[in-house]
Amino acid sequence: MSTGELASLNLARHIGDENGAVQRNRERVAEQIGASLVFVDQVHSSEVHVLDEQGPVPVATADALVTRRTDVALAIMVADCLPVLLADPVAGVVAAAHAGRVGLLDGVLEATIAEMAVLGSRPADLTASIGPSICGSCYEVPEQMRERVAAHLPATRARTRWGTPALDLRAGAISVLETAGVPSAAIDAAHPCTFEDPRCFSYRRSTSTGRFAGVVRRA
């Protein structure tokens, strides 16, 4: 298991943790889920990787995963960004997306829903969970950045608890999902703020931190 500042199941290999510890952490999560985990090389993009029905699963460079497979679980690593998990129980399609500020603006959620549609999914049948992520009361940004982002996605405009400009990425993601046709009642965003909750890794709280993952599996 990872130790020190990386304790509590760090799942990332790229932050200086001991590789064996990361592998054991991933195996522990996979054991709890009951399937092997599929990760992507995340780069804050809108790229979506669709897993084929059969065959090996190479590591792809992308920020979202979509599949109909039942033998794997999709994992998206975060430490303040939004882990957005989507499922269509009617079409049997699941997805996991990494929606940070850049990816959210570049359309990673819209691209993910579009790829799910290729596999027969409909937005009206989707359920969505926005996992632990930094909240709008803690995500302080320069005023020019807030205005630039809010001009594209008004729901993101926010202020911190201490009165400075901020972005509410959760509210932005909810707005994107609703606009895409996901029912409001099917969106679950009631999860902790990573900056405030010491159980979560937070890059804003400490740049020397690990990564946890939002994980979804088709039953």
Question: Which pLDDT belongs to residue 4?
Answer: 55
Cβ atoms within 10 Å, residue 182: 22
CATH number at residue 90: 3.60.140.10
pTM, full prediction: 0.92
Alpha carbons within 13 angstroms on the beta-carbon side of residue 125 total: 13
> SS3 letters for 35-76?
CEEECCECCCCCCEEECCCCCCCCCCECCEEEECCCCEEEEE
Q: Give pLDDT tens digits for 27-45.
A: 999 999 999 999 999 999 9
Q: Give pLDDT tens digits for 180-189.
A: 999 999 999 9
6 has pLDDT over 90: no
CA–CA–CA angle 43, 9, 141 (5° rounding): 45
- Residue 175's domain spans which residues? 4-217
Please give the tally of structural domains in the chain. 1
3 has pLDDT over 60: no
Q: What is the mean pLDDT of residues 65-88?
A: 96
